[in-house]
Amino acid sequence: MMLNILSNTAAEFVVDPMNFVENLKYMGTGMLGIFIVMGAIILSTFVLNKILNKKDKDGE
């Protein structure tokens, strides 16, 4: 019975290590995309802080 379970289990999996290599492009693009968006958010925040904090100081 154990052998049956194991062979049925094995049949459910299609193991293809080459898929790991083929999908690395998504990893590269994904991480680059996140860094680009976060970079843009960081830059926007710096600019916002600079402009709006300066306005507050001038107002004072």
Question: Smallest distance, Å, CB 1 to other proteins?
Answer: 13
Q: CA dihedral defined by 31, 33, 34, 35, rounded to 10 degrees?
A: 90
Question: Smallest distance, Å, CB 55 to other proteins?
Answer: 8
> What is the contact surface with other proteins in residues (CB under 8 A)?
9, 12-17, 19-20, 22-24, 26-27, 29-31, 33-42, 44-46, 48-49, 52-53, 55-56
User: H helices of 1-60, where?
Assistant: 2-12, 18-22, 24-59
Using CA atoms, how far apart are residues 37 and 50, in angstroms rounded to an integer?
20
Question: Smallest distance, Å, CB 4 to other proteins?
Answer: 13
